[in-house]
Structure 1
Amino acid sequence: MTQRSTARRTRLLTAVTAVAAMIFGSAAPAAAAPSVPMAPYTPSAGLTATEVTFAGAGTTLHGSVVRRADLDMSVRHPGIVLVHGSGTGQRVTVGQEAEVFARAGIVTLIYDKRGDYGKLHRDFSAMARDALAGVHTLRGVPGVDPAKVGLWALSEGGWIAPMAAAESSEVAFLVTIGAPGRSPLRTQAWNISNRIAAAAVSPSTARSVPAAGMRIAAGTGLFPGGDHDPVPVLSQVRQPVLAMWGELDVQVPPRESAEIFAGHLTNSPSVTIRILPHGHHAGRVTTDGFDRVGGPQVGGFRFGELLPGYGKLMTDWIAQVTAGRPPASSADGLPAQRIDSRSIEPATWFDFAVFALLLTVLLSWPVTAVVRRLRGSRGAPVGAWPARALVVTGLAAALGVTGYVCWVVADQARSIGGTVLGQPVPWLLLRLLLVLALVSAVITGLTGWRRRTQLSVGHRLRLAAVTAGGLLLLPLALTAGLLQP
């Protein structure tokens, strides 16, 4: 089986799990897994890498200390520990940055992410303690000045590294690239919205589809740590900070995040906010914020070429800070964003109860029809055809909307089904089903009302129940944005 088909099956399983969890309850927490060492890191010419093992937060972590081969280790040098963004967290994924620091004379520790990390289990606090364990380990390496060891963090690491820095004075400085200033839930919804909008989808649909999917994911426990608020942590950071964002970042809202960092790093003695012109989320060269140009390719993934001047910006800043001359606080002008992020509230038990009631009342018609048939009743009862149409279209719309928004989130909008008139084709079909269901509900309700004096109490209740099911589609449609342009 190819890597692509395996990944697609994993995303499909995640989407199906989300739908099932919405109906039957929250997902159980993932069991902790032991840390597994990845392949040792092999540096390029002129550098050396030494394998290390150290104790993280309840797990054993494996890493490499990277330095320049000719570095005089009889004197002490600054050090830096690199904290991954989201994903598998293999050392090689931050190898380019490690070599930038190592060539500048900064001893660098990279390590494999903890083994229990995954889509269904993310413990930011544990990963912050892992980063601190890395700092403690690097401080003990011969040739490293223990007073000059800091943290570098990418993307998701921008939630983790500030927690570590706020917790321990062993961290001498903090460097971030693409750090989120919003919660994981809000940030991921914004990220997926950008992907959808790039396919020429209308702004309202680009926002509403991932928002609906993220609400379900958070409400069913399929988005761990989604409510993490980085703001209180930033106010506790007391180290010098260099925070950077790519101008074309489409994964983390750069304007909002830079504004939040600048406004809430109030206890840091030196805050430098930099916007990298035409830059990708990870400080890479890009043409549109989505692609990565050049750079190495490992396992089918292109890492991308580092932006010109990005590495020197970091190493020059670290040299100033570790020499006891942190620069005065400064900030670049805030970049533009294609769209603003929006707050996402997790689905509640009430949302799930309404959804379950919707399914129950729609299914009441075919269930009672089977009972009538078993009792020997023949012929279609009054209102049968609009009621049947309502059941079919209503169930298809309800389950279809839930499944589609979960799929888009699990697939991260890589496949939205093509577009017509600024709408994904599946979304257009779901809109059509919703209209048909609502029309069928009106006809069913009117039929029952007009013939109420001729119908038995039981039959009136059947028609009222299935009509109510059609009306319950409205809250679902409003929440998912099906009625927006």
Structure 2
Amino acid sequence: MGPQWAPVPMTDPLTVQTSSTAIPGAGEPGDYAVRTSVVEVPLDGTTVEAQLRVPVGADEDVPAVLFVHGAGTGRYVDAFVDQAQALASAGVATLVPDKRLDTYTARHRDYVAMADDYLHSFDLLRDVDGVDPDRVGVYAESEGAWIAPVMAVEQPDVAFVALVSAPVVPPRQQAAFAVDQYLRNTGVPQQVFRAIPRAVGMSLPGGGFEYADFDVAPYQRRMTQPVLVVYGTGDASMPLVQGAEQIIRDVAIAGNPDYTVRYYRGADHGIRVDTVVDPVFLRDLTGWVLGLPGTGSADPRVAGDQPEQLYWAAPVAQPRWLGNGDVLVFLVLGAVGLIVLLPLGRQALVGVRHLRGLPRSHHRDEGLARRLAVLSASTVATVVGLVFYLYGVARLALGYERNGWVVQGGWLVVRVLGLVAVAAAASVVVRLRRLRAAGQPLAHGLLGHAVLWGTCAACAALLVVLAYWGVYQLGI
């Protein structure tokens, strides 16, 4: 009913030219005192604050770097503190604006519009006293690497671009890749991987999320500025090899020979090692900026720790069935609601008739009633168990943790519950056939038939959903 998950192994890795990340021809960093101030950046419809750092006592106008946030709230008090301070003390002015949040939600993100917002900060930084307006560039991290190429194309005055932990591929594609890597690190059973394209590929409940298919490649293919590409080899969420290779190909299409790629051993998504921003990275970043334009095309182009990427981050197949998140949620919640409410409604009605002194309705078949109760309870328990299992695995995966009791034991529990539900469904079918063969009524009255067939239909729908999400795979 849905796409399988069979990522293609990467067999042609990008080979580093040297293990040293040092930038040939890097500019000599200064040792300046830093003047820090908070400025306001007017945007269309709102204003954000930004922290400006300017080296004090420079003999000439200095280059400058504007920082573009990754995913999240993006406050200047928390973001890029080490990078901005290192650059400023070495002789590079920096500006870290607060991210605009009134147009940024989980459902809606417009990267082109966000680029326009950040360009307001770029224009402000170019006008700062002591800043060379011809040497102002952009540092973008993670999600921000989908924004910076748009800025570079729309504003040719952007002097250079540093793309750090860049996803490069569209968000949906990167999300599937990241989930795959996290699950492999967590050690989940192979059957669980089936859920990746079915979850990531479907249209998510409530609509929105159009940005999931945003493709930055057309903008990268028009970038003419020098580009610094940085990854940490301890970052499992990014396509380390594929991302760099695509950026190299894309800027080549623009006729741009100025690229530099660096990999830092054991560094994570924020280029941190043991929670501290890698000082070697800060040295290289500063030297690359100060040494431009010469450092833009200096050899070696690709250097540092040898990156590894097991699989390609490929386009995600769209599910044919249950590919609409709204339908899936409606189906599951509606089925669970029917299972819970129908028997309660019948019991309430019987109780009302008894209190009013009216005769009770005909007794139902107790054997069938017990079987329906077991079917209802086991089916709902399997759904709840699957949800909690996926939540537990997600927490482990995001924390780079392993827990065999949760990962293996939890999956076993879910599958056992699922088998109990199937056995209960079979017993209901057997009982219904025996009652029909004996000429006995399957239910009494309209409400009795509604409870019987409504419960059966709801449980059948949930069993199909559970099968769709892999509970009944045989591993073949």
Task: Tell me the TM-score normalized by structure 1.
Answer: 0.74
**Matched position secondary structure for 2:292:** helix
Q: 1:159 aligns with which of 134, 146, 153?
A: 146
Deviation at 1:445?
A: 1.9
1:333-482 equivalent positions in 2, closer than 5 A? 335-337=307-309, 341=313, 343=316, 345=318, 347-356=324-333, 358-359=335-336, 362-363=339-340, 366=343, 369-370=346-347, 373=350, 376-381=361-366, 383-402=368-387, 405=390, 413-414=398-399, 418-420=403-405, 422-423=407-408, 425=410, 427-453=411-437, 454-456=439-441, 463=452, 465-482=454-471
**Matched position secondary structure for 2:94:** strand
Are the counterparts in 2 of residues 186 and 344 from structure 1 also a CA contact under 8 Å? Answer: no
Deviation at 1:154?
A: 1.1
Q: 1:246 aligns with which of 232, 251, 254?
A: 232
Deviations, residues 114-138 of structure 1 (Å, cap 9, x unaligned): 2434545544333322221111111
Aligned length: 421
Quickly say closer, same or farther: Cα 1:328–1:416, change in 2 above 3 A: closer
Cα separation, 2, equivalents of 1:328 and 1:176: 18
Are the counterparts in 2 of residues 202 and 422 from structure 1 also a CA contact under 8 Å? Answer: yes
Are the counterparts in 1 of residues 270 and 277 from structure 2 also a CA contact under 8 Å? Answer: no
1:260 equivalent in alignment to 2:246:
yes
Quickly say closer, same or farther: Cα 1:456–1:258, change in 2 above 3 A: farther
1:163-312 equivalent positions in 2, closer than 5 A? 163-205=150-192, 207-208=193-194, 218-221=204-207, 225-265=211-251, 266-267=253-254, 269=256, 270-285=258-273, 293=274, 302=275, 304-308=276-280, 310-312=281-283
**Matched position secondary structure for 1:93:** coil
Quickly say closer, same or farther: Cα 1:216–1:393, change in 2 above 3 A: farther
Q: Any unmatched runs of 5+ in structure 2?
A: 1-30, 354-359
Cα separation, 2, equivalents of 1:461 and 1:211: 36
Deviation at 1:441?
A: 1.2
Q: Which moved more, 1:161-170 or 1:472-481?
A: 472-481
Cα separation, 2, equivalents of 1:141 and 1:262: 33
Task: Tell me the TM-score normalized by structure 2.
Answer: 0.75
1:42-191 equivalent positions in 2, closer than 5 A? 46-72=33-59, 75-91=60-76, 92-116=78-102, 117-119=104-106, 122-191=109-178
Deviations, residues 178-207 of structure 1 (Å, cap 9, x unaligned): 0112333443454455445444433543x4
Deviation at 1:177?
A: 1.0
Task: Name the aligned partner's letter for residue 62 of structure 2.
Answer: H
**Matched position secondary structure for 1:225:** helix
Deviations, residues 45-99 of structure 1 (Å, cap 9, x unaligned): 8222132211134321211221322323xx3222110112223312242011112
**Matched position secondary structure for 2:40:** strand
Are the counterparts in 1 of residues 182 and 400 from structure 2 also a CA contact under 8 Å? Answer: no
Larger radius of gyration: 2
Deviations, residues 307-360 of structure 1 (Å, cap 9, x unaligned): 52x223323333443469644894459722356556275644443454356436
Cα separation, 1, equivalents of 2:307 and 2:361: 71
Quickly say closer, same or farther: Cα 1:376–1:480, change in 2 above 3 A: same
Quickly say closer, same or farther: Cα 1:224–1:419, change in 2 above 3 A: farther
Cα separation, 1, equivalents of 2:207 and 2:396: 17
Deviations, residues 271-325 of structure 1 (Å, cap 9, x unaligned): 333322332222222xxxxxxx1xxxxxxxx5x13152x2233233334434696
Question: Higher relative contact order by CA 8 Å / sep ≥ 6: 1 or 2?
Answer: 2
Deviations, residues 437-468 of structure 1 (Å, cap 9, x unaligned): 12211221232234324244767786555444
Deviation at 1:223?
A: 5.7
Task: Name the aligned partner's letter for residue 311 of structure 1.
Answer: L
Quickly say closer, same or farther: Cα 1:413–1:469, change in 2 above 3 A: farther
Are the counterparts in 1 of residues 240 and 307 from structure 2 also a CA contact under 8 Å? Answer: yes
Cα separation, 1, equivalents of 2:407 and 2:185: 11
Deviation at 1:414?
A: 4.8
Identity %: 25
